[in-house]
Structure 1
């Protein structure tokens, strides 16, 4: 393909686009933080559905279709501790993580473009750098959020996940006391394995699609319908492509060492680490229950199956985890929860990126900092 020469209208327009897309860092970080947090909170219930499907230790699984899972959790456990379990750590991690993410993304993207690196490469690489910078802030919150989502309500009579935390604070204290502080970073590598390619693909798709939309419309303001379409499709495509990595991440973060327990209904904090029973429907908690081990643990790698048929993912290695899932569950195991993940990433990305652009335009009209304060 013939490239336009320097000084041509295409190049001048491209350079103008790059200059116009350079808001002050404070604006970018606040717009990204508000947009990202809003998107995460809006889609938290669907993320819970995805987590239940991916981390369900029962075989056959209790949760099947997206609609069935959503309705079952809502009917049995309600909204606050069911569909919105783990929302507190999700909120804190989302805001801090997206603030760091967008600040790093804008800085690294601008630096690479100024160094003469192709925009498409700059967008992709900036997404990687941004996620590396944000990971230390959001991974601990992701661990807490994922376990609380999988658990649902305290002393949940409808679903046993192997966890039984009273609150977010209790979960953090229990994990630190019984598993060590490092357990709050369980799945750190797996999270990076999922989020680095996701962010890179998402922003590569988004920036390229937005560039096409600008050329189609003939303006930098592409309008709300195209803003939504480009943002949602970029997030959805990246979400589907990285679903296998998300499955492994979920299982690694919800794994723990099996601890024998003589009473499956024990309400102490140590019960969150104990083996317990499958609860596919309501029952009388006073009845004795058959014991069940979590199908995921942190012991040495193994492909052994539990007696209920669920695969044991005894590894912290993403590659090994992918291999175990494929051997025991086939390609379908890689894409457990792909439906809610597609919807979640599409709506979350659409909300985040549309709000991001909208807030940037608002900040431009009501600046928090002057143009001279933008440290490039």
Structure 2
């Protein structure tokens, strides 16, 4: 009896998305990674949003991670640190599924899966393409999340759906995408830098590219922190655009794009304003990218083992 065409484990590189690792399994691994990443570090992300608000009211000034965390917990209740997380849970799964599926597909087309060869251009390009696709899906959920993270949100919105309806009714559909170009100006270089650093660090630490949780965790953390620090200015402008509808300042409410946001921020706070929230951004991103890559690679390894076992049992 003819033997089925089973690809032995040693014939493919773990990082190369082997033939028995389906697109659906890859998207499931990505969805799990995205939800794990965002939920684990959500309170620090909420603090970052508060610190990045331009021209806050007298009682809404947040100047440090620990001070801001204590202030939110003591004045609004400990659960305020997780307000808006439902939007992330709903959006992050599908967005990260698209993210990693696009990443693997583009990397494969560009030859980035050849065993024993480092392809920095393929890694950077794959990351950029992945974020363009996923951000198109995630941007409206991110707007809702940031609206619910600001101080006045408890008085305005009872839930994620309530927030979405409020924003649509008062500002129209464009409010959900006014920050999309700015988001891409941040996330494309962020993702390209992160994927480039991740692939470089993980290849250096683990030349065989076998599944190694320690390598994936360390490489993800360092790559994420490096990319986060460099792209903080775009993140500040993104926050400005996504929360402008809740601002009491008339000039802030009329900001309609990246350059207009840059001019206003520089006029109000100078060059230092572009790095507001850099500390919580890096503190959030390092563990979250470590969690994301670890969860993704663990899911990927699990599916590969399951598929190998199924192939062996069928012979």
TM-score (norm 1): 0.73
Where in structure 1 do 4 or more consecutive aligned residues deviate above 4 Å? 18-21, 114-118, 368-371
Contact 1:254 1:296 in 2 (8 A): no
After superposition, where does 1:180-329 map in structure 2 within 5 Å?
180-215=172-207, 219-221=208-210, 223-256=212-245, 275=248, 293=249, 296-298=252-254, 314-316=255-257, 318-329=258-269
Q: Is the 8 A contact 1:98 1:134 kept in 2?
A: yes
Question: Does residue 146 of structure 1 match 2:138?
Answer: no
**Correspondences of 1:1-376 after superposition (within 5 Å):** 17=13, 20-22=16-18, 23-55=21-53, 57-58=55-56, 62-80=61-79, 82-113=80-111, 119-151=119-151, 154-155=154-155, 164-215=156-207, 219-221=208-210, 223-256=212-245, 275=248, 293=249, 296-298=252-254, 314-316=255-257, 318-367=258-307
Decide whether the 8 Å contact of 1:248 with 1:322 is kept in 2: yes
Paired position in structure 1 for 2:6: none
Distance in 2 between residues matched to 1:194 and 1:168, nearest whole Å? 25
Name the structure 1 match of 2:8. none
CA 356–18 in structure 1, closer or farther in 2 if over 3 Å, else same: closer
Q: Distance in 1 between matches of 2:84 and 2:15?
A: 40
Which consecutive residues of structure 1, in runs of 5 or more, have no partner in the other structure?
1-14, 156-163, 257-272, 276-292, 299-313, 372-376
CA RMSD of aligned residues (A): 2.6
Distance in 1, matches of 2:138 and 2:310, equals 30
Matches of 2:32 and 2:118, distance apart in 1: 29
- Mapped partners of 1:363, 1:345: distance in 2: 26
Report the CA distance between 1:57 and its aligned residue: 3.1
Matched residues in 2 for 1:360 and 1:370: separation?
15
Measure the CA separation in 2 of the matches of 1:345 and 1:241: 12
- The Cα offsets for residues 182-221 of structure 1, whole Å up to 9 and x where unpaired, read as 2222311111111111111111110111110113xxx433
Greater share of helix residues, 1 or 2? 2
Pairwise CA distance, 1:62: 1.6
Q: Which runs of 5+ in 2 are unaligned?
A: 1-10
Query: Does the aligned pair in 1 maintain the 2:34–2:92 contact within 8 Å?
Result: yes
Distance in 2 (alpha carbons) for counterparts of 1:46 and 1:17: 36
Shift of residue 24 of structure 1? 2.7
Contact preservation (8 Å) 1:89, 1:145: yes
Describe the shift of the 1:119–1:167 C-alpha distance in structure 2 as closer, same or farther (beyond 3 A).
same
Larger Rg: 1
Q: In 2 relative to 1, CA 38–274 (structure 1 residues): closer, same or farther, beyond 3 Å?
A: closer
Question: Do the aligned partners of 2:123 and 2:199 also contact (CA within 8 Å) in 1?
Answer: yes
Contact 2:229 2:281 in 1 (8 A): yes
Give the conservation status (yes or no) of the 8 Å contact 2:211–2:301.
no
User: Quick one: structure 1 residues 197 and 369, their matched pair in 2 at CA, closer, same or farther if it must change by over 3 Å?
Assistant: farther
